[in-house]
Amino acid sequence: MFDNLSSKLSKVIKDIKGYGKITEDNISDILRTIRIVLLEADVNYSVVKEFTNNVKTKALGSEVLSSLKPSEVFLKILKDELLELLKNDKYELYNSKFNVLMLIGLQGSGKTTTIGKLGGYIRKKYNKKPMFIACDIYRPAAINQLKQIGKQLGIFVYSEDIKDVSLIALNGIKYAKENNYDYVLIDTAGRLHIDEVLMSELKDIKSKVNPNEILLVIDAMIGQDAINVINGFNSSLNITGSILTKMDGDTKGGVALSLRHLTNVPIKFMGTSEKLDGLSVFDPNRVVSRILDEGDILGLIEKAEDVIDKDEAVSISKKMKSNNFDLNDFLLSLKQIKKLGPLENLIKMMPGASKLGDVNIDPKELIRTEAIISSMTLKERKDPSILKASRKIRIANGSGTKVEDVNKLLKQFDKMKDMMKLMKNKF
């Protein structure tokens, strides 16, 4: 997500920091490079032109030219203009006593999976009781797919074996009210392209159920055509927001920079993985931080808060500070880290991640480490100094590894403890 755009812009930013002063000549060179980077990332041409013109006008203003650190002021202008493109004051969902959300989109956009992700988000974020209504009666297995997702999440799916989708939606809402559901998400049919039949059906559902939100699910990989899709749906349905899917795939990311500016429809969420928890609020500040290689520390903290056992984390932290951290604690830490997902994804959320290039961490390494520690006795985990040759051979055999692997782990653990001592002395 934004990796390619971020890595290219970080090189530009590095050049800017090398300038002692800002002139019209070097600004023109910088903006020419930025223009190419944005166009290659699939940002709409008119957006790129307006963006670079705004940056140039402000960069050549007296504030930058008279500044002692002109490069820092220029970078702030760059960040502010990116935020202006993404300005998004409506990313929170409508949330009252009873809520109806209608999800629409073209076939293949990931709409049904997104309904599942959104249902899980609503339950967790708002402490609501969501229900799904299956109104995609045309696509083979669409209803079964939604029911399977509902089963995984423990969310009820309302469906009927009739052809009138508006009636299904109305009956579903009536059922939801009678059974104390307070958030209803309607999965509608999609087409390969926008046509009169699709729009007529969606407008009929809208007029009958009067949804609080109409959210358009868009595949970010379709590039600049996303603008035509959003305008096409919006002209008939007055959508309240969009959700960009497949942002974790081979997408250039530029569509996000064009959509809000050209359509005036807020991007509310983005899909960040295929898993049912792979949905993030589209927060412009955090998105721009990722694009400018400043990381997403807030996102990292939120991810940790979601999956890490707080009591265990506090206990491990205290042991680190008191220098009582042993291999048993190390094993607990590994298990906590594994809950956060692939380490490559976590590293990408750190500031300056693009400088590391493609980071590939073999998940087998974590499994091997876990197996080695699990093959030790509690006494050995508490006091690794007792691990002599015979014990190491037993541990290697028990974990399906080699003695060299055991020695490597012990050396890494010793280095880790030395670092903890240094940290303790500094803070």
- Please report which residue ranges of 110-187 form alpha helices under DSSP H: 111-126, 142-153, 165-178
Give the mean model confidence (pLDDT) for residues 292-321: 63
Q: Which of 160, 180, 249, 175 is nearest to 209 (CA)?
A: 175
Give me the sign of the Cα torsion angle 47, 51, 54, 57. negative
Give per-residue pLDDT as tens, 125-179. Answer: 899 999 999 999 988 789 999 999 999 999 999 999 999 999 999 999 999 999 9
For position 427, what pLDDT does the model report?
A: 43
pLDDT on residue 51: 92
Ordered by where they begin, the domains of the chain are 3-86 (1.20.120.140), 99-291 (3.40.50.300), 302-426 (1.10.260.30)
Query: Tokens standing for 235?
Result: 């002209």
| φ/ψ bin of 44: left (φ > 0), alpha (ψ from -120 to 50), beta (otherwise) | beta
Residue 239: which residues within 8 A CB-CB, separation 6 or more?
104, 214, 215, 216, 230, 233, 265
Residue 292: what pLDDT? 80
The pLDDT tens digits for 330-383 are: 887 777 766 666 555 555 555 555 554 554 556 677 788 889 999 999 999 988
What is the percent of the chain where pLDDT is above 70?
A: 79
Report the range of poorest mean pLDDT among 18-32, 125-139, 188-202, 294-308. 294-308
31-39 long-range CB contacts below 8 Å, 24 or more apart? 31/55, 31/56, 34/9, 34/78, 37/5, 37/8, 37/9, 37/12, 38/5, 38/254, 38/257
- pLDDT above 90 for 10: no
For 323-363, give the secondary structure using H, E and C: CCCCHHHHHHHHHHHHHCCCHHHHHCCCCCHHHHCCCCCCH
pLDDT tens-digit map of 46-70 = 999 999 999 888 887 766 555 556 6
CA distance 287 to 5: 12
Query: Which pLDDT band, with edges at 50, 70 and 90, does 249 fall under?
Result: low
pLDDT of 426 reads: 46
